[in-house]
Amino acid sequence: MRVVFLKILGFVIVIDLFYMGIGQWYLTQSEEHPPPDLEITVETDTYSLVGMGETVLKTKGGCLLCHKITEQGNTRAPDLRGVGGRAATRRPGMSAEAYLTESLRDPGAYVVAEFATAGGASIMPVADQPPADLSATELKALVAYLQSLGGEITVVITAEDVEAAEAKRRKSTASAVSTDPGFALLASQGCVACHDVTGTTRRVGPPLTEVRQRLSAAEIRQSIVDPNAVIAEGYQKDLMLKDFAEQLSSEQLDQLVNYLSGEVPLTQRLAHPAVHLFVLIVLFNGGIALALRVMRARSPADAADEPRSESSRRRIWVVLFVVAGAIVLAAVFYRGGQGDSPETPAAASTPKPEPKPEPMSDVALTPGSALDGEALYAMTCPACHGPDAKGIPGLGKDMTTSEFIQSRSDEELVAFIKQGRAVDDPLNTTGVPMPPKGANAALNDAEILAIVEFIRALQN
Partner 1 sequence: MSERLPSGARRWPLWLGGIGLVTLLTLVSPDGILAQEISRSYGDFPLIGSRAAVWIAAQVHLLFAAFVLGVPMFAVVAEAIGIFGKDRKYDKLAKEFTRLLLVAYSATAIWGAILSFLLVTLYPRLWVYLTQIFAPSMWAYAGLFFLESFTLYLYYYGWDRWAEGRAKLMHWGLGIMLNVFGTIVMFIANSWLTFMMSPPADVTPDTSPAMVQFWSAFANATWMPINIHRLIANVVFGGAIVGAYAAYRFLIAETDEERAHYDWMGYVGNLIAIGALIVLPFAGYYLGREIYAYSQQMGVSMMGGSFAQLWILQAILIGSLFLAINLYLWLAMGRIPGGERYRKFQAPVLFVLATGLAVWATPHTIIATFAEMKAMGSAHHPRLGVLGVMSAKNTAVNLMILATFITFMLYRRGNKEATSSFAATGNWIQVVTLLATIVGIVSIGIYGYFVPAAVRVGLSVYQPLMVGAFMILFLVLDVPISRGAKSLGEIRWGQMPRISQYVLFFLAATFTWLMGLMGYIRSGIRQHWHVYQVMKDTSEGAFIPSHAFATMVVSIIVIVFFLFVSMVFALAMRSELKERRSM
Q: How far is the CB of 434 from partner 1 (least distance, A)?
A: 19
167-196 residues near partner 1, rule: CB under 8 A = 171-173, 175-180, 182-183
- Binding segment (CB under 8 A) for partner 1, from list 114-122, 149-157, 411-419, 434-442: 114-122
Binding residue for partner 1 (CB under 8 A) from 1, 229, 370, 427?
Answer: 1
Cα dist from 9 to 1, 17, 23, 111, whole Å: 12, 12, 21, 57
Smallest gap from residue 28 Cβ to partner 1 (A): 6
Handedness of CA 57, 58, 60, 65 (dihedral sign): positive
DSSP tag of 23: I
- Please, which of residues 301-320 interact with partner 1 by CB under 8 A? 301-302, 305
Nearer to partner 1, 98 or 270 (CB): 270
Return the ∠ at Cα 314 (arms to 311 and 316), rounded to 5°.
115
Contact (Cβ atoms closer than 8 angstroms) between residue 153 and residue 46: yes
Give min distance, CB of 282 to partner 1, in A.
6
Inter-residue contact 224 to 257 (CB < 8 Å): yes
* Contact pattern from residue 330 through residue 359 relative to partner 1, giving x for each residue in contact according to CB under 8 A and a dash for the rest: -----------xx-xxxx-xxx--------
Q: Is 295 in the site for partner 1 (CB under 8 A)?
A: yes
Please tell me the distance from the alpha carbon of residue 362 to that of residue 320, in angstroms, as a whole number.
Answer: 64
The residue within the footprint of partner 1, chosen from 39, 47, 76, 89 (CB under 8 A), is 76
Site for partner 1 in 397-426 (CB under 8 A): 424
Q: Stretches 228-236, 284-292, 410-418, 434-442: which one binds partner 1 (CB under 8 A)?
A: 284-292
Q: Name every residue whose Cβ is closer than 8 Å to that of residue 253 and which is 6 or more positions away in sequence.
A: 221, 224, 225, 245
Q: Which of 277, 320, 331, 378 binds partner 1 (CB under 8 A)?
A: 277
| Residue 6 within binding range of partner 1, rule CB under 8 A | no
Q: Residue 216, SS3?
A: coil
Binding region for partner 1 (CB under 8 A) out of 73-81, 233-241, 387-395, 442-450: 73-81
190 CB-side CA count, 13 A: 24
**Residue (15 or 331) nearer to partner 1, CB:** 15
Within a 10 A sphere around the Cβ of 447, how many other Cβ atoms? 23
**CA distances (Å), 157 to each of 27, 41, 160, in order?**
41, 7, 8
